[in-house]
């Protein structure tokens, strides 16, 4: 009987610790999204597209190829962190209301897909 009571006491604390780790993962993902998107959009993309001349943009890409690669990698990382943040928020919010949590995840994923498809469509 005593073992059952101790198991029931440790189960909520273990679940709370797991939820806290997942919530911190979501927070870290949002911080990473902020930092990487700031770098990719305002440091790389705005610098490349500062002038509308296609030749100048091409020269800048060839002159700063590592910077452009880091910008592309940052955009891909933002996409990945966005998906992980949506998943983490789904896990954290599921005990409150599983249907709304699933809806929020689906809307978050559809936003991520639409936003990234639109980003690459506009650049052609």
Q: What is the pTM of this model?
A: 0.78
Structural domain boundaries in the chain: 2-122
Among residues 78, 10, 4, 8, which one has the least CA distance to residue 40? 78
pLDDT per residue over 25-68, tens digit each?
A: 999 999 999 999 999 989 988 888 877 688 888 888 898 899 99
pLDDT per residue over 63-85, tens digit each?
A: 889 999 999 999 999 999 999 99
């Amino acid at each position: 009987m005593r073992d059952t009571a101790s198991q029931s006491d440790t189960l909520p604390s273990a679940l709370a610790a797991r939820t806290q780790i997942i919530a911190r993962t979501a927070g870290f993902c949002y911080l990473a999204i902020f930092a990487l998107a700031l770098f990719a959009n305002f440091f790389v993309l705005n610098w490349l597209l500062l002038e509308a001349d296609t030749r100048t943009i091409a020269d800048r890409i060839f002159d700063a190829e590592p910077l452009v690669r880091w910008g592309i990698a940052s955009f891909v990382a933002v996409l990945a962190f966005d998906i992980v943040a949506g998943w983490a928020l789904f896990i954290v919010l599921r005990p409150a209301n599983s249907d709304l949590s699933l809806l929020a995840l689906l809307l978050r994923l559809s936003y991520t897909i639409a936003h990234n498809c639109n980003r690459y469509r506009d650049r052609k």
